[in-house]
Amino acid sequence: MNIFKYKKTIATISLVVILLLSVLIFSKPIFTAITIQVVRQKIARQHLSFHDGLYAVLCGTGTPLPDMERVEPCIAVIAGKHLYIVDAGDGSVRNIILSGLPAGKIEAVLLTHFHSDHIAGLGNIMLQRWANDLHDQPVDVIGPEGVESVVRGFNLAFQQDAGYRAKHHSDNLFPASGAGGRARPFKLSAEKDASVVVMDKDGVRITAFKVDHKPVVPAVGYRFDYHGRSLVVSGDTAYSESLIRHSRGADMLLHEASQASILKMMNEEYRASSNARMGKITADIPGYHSTPEDAAKIAREAGVKYLMLYHILPPLPSSFILHHVFLGDAKKYYRGPITIGVDGMLISLPANSNEIKVKKLF
């Protein structure tokens, strides 16, 4: 072997040995430093701050059908110093935390109706609110009549868990009286477009109003008004005149959307494969939901400034081409901006301005 090549080989082996020894000697301090940095970043993300205004974080924009980008419905609304949660779908707590929202500061959960995909995460939201701050009173759960039985059921299901935590961490840190939820039902009159103010404090006004999700009754949407800004959450609904009325002039309309043409394709495939059960289910879905075109017509008639679609059905991957198919003819009916929502989107409506910002938090 050439002496030069021999020396070069020996040097290479020596370098590798030194590097391996260095890793063995210094790996623990290095990995510890990296871990500390990751922990710090995660904790820092739990302190998302807002200037005065009205904000919404999409913590769940999907449906019961599995979607890689969306969990079940949940919208966090920040109005000034107040934090509210609209609907509590399965998986929504994860996204509340990932968004950096202070779960311990949740003042109330507002439910649009009692389908499982809008309430399945309620117990975990109650728990995280209790665990992340000192509370001696349960969180208010606001909803139409029937919310009492929903809250009672979750309180019962989580009762033993709450007892374990209070005992383990002490009642001083986890006051037993602060666990769970407290139902705050409201009643709407018989009129089709009936509404009621469910919150009015510190400049925050929240109005609940009827929508059309029959045979699901009651079903409501919510309008939030704060310091000259407004946003509306439709809840689940077919095309609704009541929704048009209560969305008039809003800065942002968050409207559910299911594309009937794609659902029809799914229906035909299920029937062709002799899956009559799923064929019937996919045939039933469009009857009490809205298409993107419906949402666009409502946005136009109400004169809203921005349309954000959520509760996306069927599941929609990240693809501009597929987004175009999902929107269908929506842009023919509404000339303003339309966005198909995904989990982690932040909507910003600064107080006393016309500015609307949309960005991804994660």
What are the contacts of 264-271 at 24+ separation with CB within 8 A?
266/314
Q: DSSP 3-state assignment of 71?
A: coil
Q: Is 117 a catalytic residue?
A: yes
- Tell me the pairing of strands 220-226 and 204-210: antiparallel
Q: Which amino acid is at 344?
A: G
Report how far residue 64's alpha carbon sits from residue 118's, in angstroms, rounded to the nearest whole number.
Answer: 9
87, 117, 225, 294: the active-site residue: 117
Phi/psi at 322 (5° precision): -70, -35
282: its two tokens = 């996919």
Residue 227 neighbours by CB distance under 10 Å:
18
Interacting residues of 211 by C-beta distance below 8 A, sequence separation 6+: 112, 219, 220, 221, 234, 235, 236, 237, 240, 242, 243
Please give the Cα distance from 151 to 123 (Å, whole number).
9
User: Active-site positions?
Assistant: 117
